[in-house]
Chain A
């Protein structure tokens, strides 16, 4: 059961139970919607951009502990970041959760998001961890179509 503790780290359980920034933003100027059609996970991302900077960020939706905690930690991590910084962090996060099982993942550059390193050992759960990020990416790019993981 040690793998399970690796996946369900205390920080993840905490963010699942009390997600941060879990609300709609009244003054959002970007938003997007994401689905995982296979499992029914559903998320809305609300973003307030101030020029090139993410001034405020929030989410709502329903999903498993991994997807909820991922969205919660993402909103915390990206507030105040520039578009470029956000895209770069997404790339590093994506590498972290999809890294080869035999390699040692580089957790130094992702801050708190390092708690998701255990996800790579559960291939069925990678889409749970990345749904919020793909949805955010769509909001950044101003896409109207809802995002799906399939």
Chain B
């Protein structure tokens, strides 16, 4: 692996940069060491951002700095280092609270990622509040992580899972939600942005509809937080979940936001250290949130790294990054539609980041291999969203997913390689 020389810096004067946009992807790229390399003799074109995003130097540096000079266990040491580590970790919780505009730090639970956040709600809130004959509503466009935990809960409790369907554009048939809600509906769980289609769902409207029937709403925000500002109080959702690694932070750390009154009433998820108030040989009492849901030594460096990723997003400005990404999406959509035999899967009215498609000439895996030979990283498969594949009657798609550090040159390289796919399979 070698370093790309400063040709990318020269792109600062490239005419393709929209001068009206205050956001400069070429400068931002310099913050990401991974992007400065060649893969298979070509500059890396990283378009697998819906799977995981790259990390800016600030995040990598923060993790190294933590292990270099702050490492200690938190919440329990009387010594200096423990206090420093505790302050850093709890400081990160405060940053997450601000990032989501939550009301209180104790509404922010650190988890391993979106998957664990959803499982936590299913195990704790779900087991307590959902019983035989009750109903949970999700949608046809969920990631498996927002399907399987509810299926497991329904199986255990004798409850029923209902799905809001999607149309052939990849939009939710939102009017169906109201019809699916019954007096037995106990929870609505919905994805904010689909990882397989890029559809942005109208969360505020969904929450309003559900709340009108007294039903709480959980939102899977894994694909949303790297692309848009999220305000949980404005959305008025009851739970919001996301992963650090999909928003330029470390793997192994994620967040569950929950309204404090709901969290207060929820039983623990895992038992162990840190989540207790008192322990005797007969019985234990439990700590208040967030500690009640954070048994054991947490991913301290991950939490700190996530906090620094939030600092980074605040610095570059998520609003201007989102505006740039919308321009890039328009450009990419136009370029890709000109490729013979390419069919876009997911044409929602409000769509972000994801370009999911099939080609007449080749299966997504073959497309993925040919793109890889050109140094282009995409994902080929069902994207852990098999019900979507079943809806469109396809086994898989090729998915290119942009982040704010992608450029028109990345899209042009993708288009060129897709033309090559057509040549190989002609």
By a beta-carbon cutoff of 8 Å, the part of chain A in contact with chain B is 1, 3-4, 7-8, 13, 16, 38-42, 62-66, 68, 122, 124-125, 128
Q: Give the contact-size bracket for chain B.
A: 10 to 19
Q: Is the Cβ of B364 less than 8 Å from the Cβ of A3?
A: no
Report if B245 contacts A (CB, 8 A): no
The CA of A16 and the CA of B364, in the complex, are separated in Å by 14
Q: Is the Cβ of A65 less than 8 Å from the Cβ of B425?
A: yes
Quick one: given A1-B373, A4-B370, A4-B373, are A39 and B365 in contact (CB under 8 Å)?
yes
- Stretch of B106-114, B246-254, B380-388 that contacts chain A: B380-388
The CA of A95 and the CA of B425, in the complex, are separated in Å by 27
Quick one: given A3-B373, A65-B425, are A40 and B381 in contact (CB under 8 Å)?
yes
The CA of A8 and the CA of B373, in the complex, are separated in Å by 13
Collect the chain A residues with CB atoms within 8 Å of residue B420's CB. 1
Q: Is the Cβ of B373 less than 8 Å from the Cβ of A64?
A: no
The CA of A41 and the CA of B363, in the complex, are separated in Å by 10
The CA of A66 and the CA of B424, in the complex, are separated in Å by 13
Collect the chain A residues with CB atoms within 8 Å of residue B389's CB. 40
The CA of A68 and the CA of B373, in the complex, are separated in Å by 21
The CA of A39 and the CA of B369, in the complex, are separated in Å by 13
Report if B396 contacts A (CB, 8 A): yes
Task: Give the number of A-B contacts (CB < 8 Å).
Answer: 50
Q: B392: shortest Cβ distance to chain A, in Å?
A: 12
Q: B365: shortest Cβ distance to chain A, in Å?
A: 4
Nearest A residue to B367 via CB reads A64
Q: Is the Cβ of A65 less than 8 Å from the Cβ of B381?
A: no
The CA of A42 and the CA of B396, in the complex, are separated in Å by 11
Interface string of B345-369 (1 = CB under 8 A from A): 0000000000000000011111001
Q: Is the Cβ of B424 less than 8 Å from the Cβ of A39?
A: no
Residue in contact with B396 in the complex, picked from A7, A13, A40, CB distance below 8 Å: A40
Collect the chain A residues with CB atoms within 8 Å of residue B364's CB. 64
Q: List 6 A-B contacts (CB under 8 A).
A: A13-B424, A38-B381, A39-B380, A39-B382, A64-B365, A68-B363
Q: A144: shortest Cβ distance to chain B, in Å?
A: 23
Quick one: given A39-B380, A39-B381, A39-B382, are A125 and B365 in contact (CB under 8 Å)?
yes
Nearest B residue to A7 via CB reads B369
Report if B267 contacts A (CB, 8 A): no
Report if B395 contacts A (CB, 8 A): yes
Within 8 A of A (CB), among B168-203: none
Nearest A residue to B382 via CB reads A40
Collect the chain A residues with CB atoms within 8 Å of residue B386's CB. 40
Contacts A4-B369, A13-B424, A40-B395 supplied; 20 other A-B pairs, CB < 8 Å: A1-B420, A8-B424, A8-B425, A16-B425, A39-B365, A39-B381, A39-B382, A40-B381, A40-B396, A41-B365, A63-B365, A64-B363, A64-B364, A65-B362, A65-B363, A65-B366, A66-B365, A124-B369, A125-B365, A125-B369
The CA of A62 and the CA of B362, in the complex, are separated in Å by 12
Collect the chain B residues with CB atoms within 8 Å of residue A124's CB. 369
The CA of A3 and the CA of B386, in the complex, are separated in Å by 32
Collect the chain A residues with CB atoms within 8 Å of residue B366's CB. 8, 64-66
Q: Is the Cβ of A122 less than 8 Å from the Cβ of B369?
A: yes
Nearest A residue to B381 via CB reads A39
The CA of A40 and the CA of B380, in the complex, are separated in Å by 10
The CA of A40 and the CA of B396, in the complex, are separated in Å by 7
Q: B6: shortest Cβ distance to chain A, in Å?
A: 28
Collect the chain A residues with CB atoms within 8 Å of residue B370's CB. 4
The 10 closest A-B pairs by CB, nearest first: A64-B365, A64-B363, A40-B395, A39-B381, A40-B382, A65-B366, A62-B395, A40-B396, A64-B366, A4-B373
Nearest B residue to A1 via CB reads B373
Interface string of B365-379 (1 = CB under 8 A from A): 110011001000000
Nearest A residue to B364 via CB reads A64
The CA of A44 and the CA of B245, in the complex, are separated in Å by 38
Nearest B residue to A4 via CB reads B373
Q: Is the Cβ of A42 less than 8 Å from the Cβ of B373?
A: no
The CA of A13 and the CA of B395, in the complex, are separated in Å by 20
Nearest A residue to B389 via CB reads A40
Collect the chain B residues with CB atoms within 8 Å of residue A8's CB. 366, 424-425
Nearest A residue to B373 via CB reads A4
The CA of A3 and the CA of B369, in the complex, are separated in Å by 11
Q: Is the Cβ of A63 less than 8 Å from the Cβ of B363?
A: yes
